[in-house]
Amino acid sequence: MLRHTWLVMIAGILALVGIGAAAFYLESRPTTLRVAVGPPNSEDVRVIQTLAQYFARERASIRLRLIVKDNSAESGPALDADQADVAVVRRDRGMPQDGRVVAILRKNVVVLVAPPPPPAPTPPPAAKTKAKPEKKAAAKVAKSGKKAKGKAAKKDSEAKDEDEEKEEKDEKEAAGPKKLEKIEELAGKRIAVIGRSEANLNVLQIILKQYEIPLDKVQIIQLGTTDVGPAIRESKIDAVMTVGPLSSRITADAVAAAGRDREPPSFLAIDAAEAIVQRFPVFESTEIPAGAFGGAPQRPPEAVETIGVTHYILARRTLDDATVGELTRLILGGRQTLAGEMPAIGKIEAPDTDKDAAVAVHPGAAAYVDGEQKTFFERYNDWIYYGLMLLSFFGSIAAWLMNYSKVGDRVEKSQSLDRLVGLMREARNVPTLEELDRIQAETDDILHSTIQDVVNNKLDQAGLQAFWLALEQTRGAIAVRRTTLTTTGESASLVPSAE
């Protein structure tokens, strides 16, 4: 019984070790996550490609497989449709309902600049006006009398006013167009939006609507990153808008191109940023720090209020917490290593884990950021506990079944012992040697059967001792009776009863 109990315990321990080894194997085996990102050849795609290569190079437990979308607006729906496990989504472009934040990829800032107006052309020399002969004027006045004299004075006054207006107009034209300083002055102007994304057009339209500038009063032009400089030099646009990180080369090049003859551009502040955020919570109120784009004098000369929008790395809400926690660890841990290879990765930030955060964070990412990520044994502690309980329960049942299966053996061994005792009593009173030989043969058969049980581990120590005791007694009785029958040479009768 004790040996069987130990066997059950050993089997349980081996089962637990097997479960732990299987769980560890599943944990250590690389998990491939599908990442929806777009548009093709964008900075977002290059960031995810760099991270995927880094994970593979480091033999990480997470691997990334890119699913490139035509534009960023398609990434969020791919997450909701279970076509992707992770997605890069711009907050104002269709946030998925099933998405939870893993990390902040970058924060885009709206930069509105107006290049200085081109220098006015040199005006032609003023034409010499012929002076009226004083004699003719005097003669005319003399002839017309007092009435004519009054009319002439009035005409001289009107002519003088017209001359002053003309001079003022000529001065304005000579000075050239006025430099833009405020968003309200964009009415009737040509505004260039860098990039072909529809999202940036929506941002500009929201800003113009806030300042009550009708869209039909402005001309909006979308330009590629290489077309900004020529458009400014040829005076085809009056203002430029970019949406991107302050560290973005595209934004920096646009600001540099907006300068003219060493004169810096004007930065148009969005003073109504807070109001826009209240109406459209997908945006954030922020500012462009003084000197963010360098230069001497610095550009901008002072902090400029504006709005921004965030790009997130999102994961499906149902994705395993441990997997998302490991993904977060790999992304945030690889920033410093990959910053030299791609500066944009160095700008990745940890998500806000507060309960009142604007966008909900994934529990796995929050656990890693807050230092509450569970270890392997903590994650599987409950499984191990319940496994022990189940093994104990089934072990008890197995032991009972094993003991129950031995009942027949115990009955058989009891019958063998009883038969030996019966043979011992019978041997003491057998009348002939033939009967005694039969008893001896039956005793030998019982001995042979018991030896087989010992070899097959069917007989425990206590049963074996009882058997040997009964066997010795039976052998002794046979030996004594054989001596008696051999000595007398005749058949002995049965011992009379005590009647």
> Mind listing the pLDDT tens digit of every residue in the chain (499 residues)?
445 556 556 666 666 666 666 555 555 678 999 999 988 988 899 999 999 999 999 999 999 999 999 888 899 999 999 999 999 999 998 789 999 999 999 999 999 999 998 776 555 555 444 444 455 545 454 555 555 555 555 556 666 566 666 666 555 454 556 789 999 999 999 999 998 778 999 999 999 999 999 999 999 999 988 898 899 888 899 999 999 999 888 899 999 999 877 788 999 999 999 999 999 999 999 999 999 998 888 999 999 999 999 999 999 999 999 999 999 999 999 999 999 889 999 999 999 999 888 899 999 999 999 988 766 555 656 666 677 677 777 767 766 666 655 545 555 667 778 888 888 888 888 888 888 888 888 888 888 888 887 777 777 777 778 888 888 888 888 888 888 888 876 444 444 433 3
Q: Fill in the amino acid letter for 262.
A: R
pLDDT for res 465: 82
Residue 352's Cβ-count burial label (10 Å; 0-12, 13-18, 19+) is middle
pLDDT for res 273: 96
Describe the crossing of helices 407-427 and 433-455 by its angle, rounded to 10 degrees. 160
For residues 210 and 275, is the Cβ–Cβ distance under 8 A?
Answer: yes
DSSP output for 193-216: EESS-HHHHHHHHHHHHHTT--GG
d(CA 332, CA 484): 100
306 half-sphere exposure, CB direction, 13 A CA radius = 28
d(CA 5, CA 395): 8
pLDDT for res 444: 87
Q: Which two tokens stand for residue 360?
A: 């909900």
Strand positions, DSSP E, 13-161:
31-37, 62-68, 86-90, 99-114
Describe the crossing of helices 321-333 and 43-57 by its angle, rounded to 10 degrees. 100
Q: Are strands 239-244 and 99-114 parallel, antiparallel or unpaired?
A: antiparallel
pLDDT for res 496: 42
The DSSP output letter for 452 is: H
pLDDT for res 9: 63
pLDDT for res 448: 83
Describe the crossing of helices 461-488 and 407-427 by its angle, rounded to 10 degrees. 20
